[in-house]
Amino acid sequence: MLLSMTGYSSGVLDLTIAKGRIVSISIEIKTLNSRFFELTARLSRNLSFLETDIHTLLRKKLIRGRIYCSILPTTGEGELGTVIPSIKTAQDYVRASEDIKKKCKISGELTISDLVNLPNVFEAEKPAITETIKKALLKKVVEVAEKLTKQRSIEGSNLKKDIEKRFLLCKKSLDKISIIYEKLMEEHKKIISKTSQLAEAGSEEARSRLEDLYVMLNKIDIHEEIIRFKSHLEGSKFLIKNREIEKGKRLDFTLQELVRETNTIAAKCSNAEISRYAVDIKVELEKVREQTQNVL
């Protein structure tokens, strides 16, 4: 099973807070691919203290990726708190204004419209976030994260099908390379055999050429590279079917090895057909690489 790092899920939680008021909290989680776990949390001011708990929960559930988590009241942040007057502050303003009038001998009255425009006359009363409310919020975050994981699994299934298709095309191209390589080796061995016979018959030219032919035979021998490529392909199949969750980084490493073997095959065996099939393999491997960037 493969899991994609891309996903989105959401949910709404109705909370009963102070004085029996019910507030709807919207929870949204979006994930994109990333090499590490990176969380960006957008929380209501009154819920910001939960960020560390949310980070711990999402890291455990989502493991890796760029995570965007939003937890906000659906009808505005003010619903989580009420505005109340700061009576002491207002009284201080009134007393101060009276002192100014007396000491500076200024006439006039401080009106309610003047008073409400002064700073700190009102303050927000934060509701008490009880342990019950906290547990309900974190439980809902887990539910939304689990729903997102299911979506990741569906997308991962599509990635799996495409990657397996690409690997199958690579194997077909490698099989064609193997056939061409075997024919090439047979032809080269025949040339060596004839040249060896001429050398044994006393031909100096044949004896001189024989050494170069052996060097060339060793150079074009790509048997080991073909075996290693097949081995890496089998390893990739096992990795994809493995029950472990994190596969993206391992697949990426395996792809590097497959590309390295393909480059070696193309460099050692300078045959036009082999080069063409090697290019086909590299094109498919690049497509797989693009897909694995989004695999968890």
**Which pLDDT does position 11 carry in this prediction?**
92
Element containing residue 72 per DSSP (H, E): strand 65-73
Q: Say which range, 122-136, 168-182, 205-219, 250-264, has the weakest mean pLDDT.
A: 205-219
Q: How far apart are CA 157 and CA 150, in angstroms?
A: 11
pLDDT band at residue 220 using 50, 70 and 90 as cut-offs: confident
Torsion angle defined by CA atoms of residues 63, 67, 71 and 72, in that order, rounded to the nearest 10 degrees: 180
Mean pLDDT of 25-37: 91
Candidates 3.40.50.970, 3.30.230.10, 3.60.15.10, 1.10.287.130; correct CATH number of 7-78+129-152? 3.30.230.10
Q: Which of 55-69, 74-88, 219-233 has the highest mean pLDDT?
A: 55-69
Give the list of residues 6+ apart from residue 85 with CB closer than 8 angstroms, or none. 121, 122, 123
For residue 203, pLDDT over 70 is answered with no
Buried b (16+ CB within 10 A) or exposed e, 232-264: bbeebeeebeeeeeebbebbeebbeebbebbeb
| 85-134 pLDDT, tens digit each | 777 877 777 777 877 877 887 877 777 877 777 777 666 556 567 788 88
Paired residues of 295 in beta bridges: 4
Between the alpha carbon of residue 65 and those of residues 147, 196, 271, 296, the distances in Å are 16, 62, 43, 8
Map out the domains of the chain as residue ranges: 7-78+129-152, 82-125, 157-292
| φ and ψ of 82, to 5 deg | -115, 150
